[in-house]
Amino acid sequence: MSAGRSALRMGPAELVQAAAMARRFYLEGKSKIQIAEEFGVSRFKVARVLETALERDLVRIEIRVPAELDAERSDALRARYGLRHAVVVESPADATEDALPGSPGFAGSAPTDPENLGEVAADLLGELVNEGDVLGLAWGRSTIHMAAALHQLPPCTVVQLTGVYDAGTAERGSVEAVRRAAQVSGGEAHPIYAPMLLPDPATAAALRSQTGIARAFEYFDKVTVAAVSIGSWETGISTVHDMLSDEERAHYASLGVAAEMSAHLFDAQGRRVGRDLGERCITVEADRLRRIPEVVAIAGGLRKAAAIDAVLRSGLVTSLVTDTAAADYLLSETGTAPRPALDRADPDD
């Protein structure tokens, strides 16, 4: 607290009383009724004094969050999409602020999914997960970074929601992420030792019936908090895109794919397309995702901005951890605002 020039227009008795009341209210946490009783005035008088103290610069209030968090963009993004939580972190210094998807030379102009997204998402999960919850983790670089950054979780069960990009690297991927989260929480781990994408629906169905994988699938309806990644339909930005042949990529692109999440494909309006791909994949079904109370998407970078917009419109996600580069794109969109994410509404309905 400090007395500014405008505050000096108050008389000395007023200044002293206002400072004392402000100290009681802002620093000691006393209610206006308690302050009124102490000073022998009405609570309305206390409210006027506190308001005057702010107007005349006797009291200065600062709201501080860690430097890497952008509170203003976070709140604006939460409001635009009707999210439960939106957390925006600073983009890396080498991100190109004025490059937007579709602009000349855009590809490669900005990194995707900065690693600090995983660190912030790990802290967010620490807030959202309660003892006894079932935490679901889908394949994705951002969720792997998040799991590596976990330091504290209440006792909970952890289940893998998708197969892995490459079964030969499972120890370094989503299987290890599930193990890491379970180790931190002290709960059970239910990994899936299988590739995400199979050659045909019959092979995928056979794998789903195997004991270990079937056991993990049984937990899908019990998941209370899930963490997922988002990819745009281009090389290096979607693992599913990278797993397909050139002919398959072209086919799904012709359907208007703008985004991929957990092997589910979406057009720019958040409608699911190419649903036949899911029949070949080991992944949580979209209907089950929609029933999970809290689904946190972790994705950032300008190259993913349009994809993030598409997935947020799908009604499958309730919360988002992203960066300023993606947030600025999402907030600059002038088209029709999406239905609130918390409606969990399917755009196809």
pLDDT digits (tens, 9 = 90+) for 137-183: 998 888 888 999 999 999 999 999 999 875 444 445 778 899 999 99
User: Following DSSP, what letter does each residue of 38-90 receive, concatenated?
Assistant: HHTS-HHHHHHHHHHHHHTTSS-------TTB-HHHHHHHHHHHT-SEEEEEP
Query: What is the Cα–Cα distance from 43 to 59, expressed in whole angstroms?
Result: 19
Query: What is the Cα–Cα distance from 151 to 183, expressed in whole angstroms?
Result: 10
Split at pLDDT 50, 70, 90, the class of 339 is confident
Per-residue model confidence as pLDDT tens digits over 103-144? 433 444 444 566 688 889 999 999 999 999 999 999 888 888
Q: If you average pLDDT over every residue of the chain, what do you get? A: 85
CATH architecture of 69-94+113-343: 3-Layer(aba) Sandwich (3.40)
What is the arithmetic mean of pLDDT over 220-242? 90
Task: Report the pLDDT value the prediction gives residue 112, as an integer from 0 to 100.
Answer: 57
Token pair, residue 275, equals: 């649903």
Q: In the chain, what percentage of residues exceed pLDDT 70?
A: 86
Q: What are the extents of the domains in the chain?
A: 12-56, 69-94+113-343
Task: Report the pLDDT value the prediction gives residue 70, as an integer from 0 to 100.
Answer: 87
CA 133, 138, 141, 142 torsion-angle sign: negative
pTM: 0.77
Fold entry, domain 12-56: Arc Repressor Mutant, subunit A (1.10.10)
Per-residue model confidence as pLDDT tens digits over 6-42? 444 666 677 888 888 998 998 899 999 999 999 899 9
What is the arithmetic mean of pLDDT over 261-272? 94
Residues 6+ apart with CB under 8 A from 249: 233, 241
Report whether pLDDT(263) > 60: yes
Task: Report the pLDDT value the prediction gives residue 64, as an integer from 0 to 100.
Answer: 61
Q: For residues 48-69, b (16+ Cβ closer than 10 Å) or e, as one string?
A: ebbebbeebebbeeeeeeeeee
- C-alpha triplet 289, 291, 292: angle, nearest 5°: 70
The values of phi and psi at residue 334, to 5°, are -105, 0
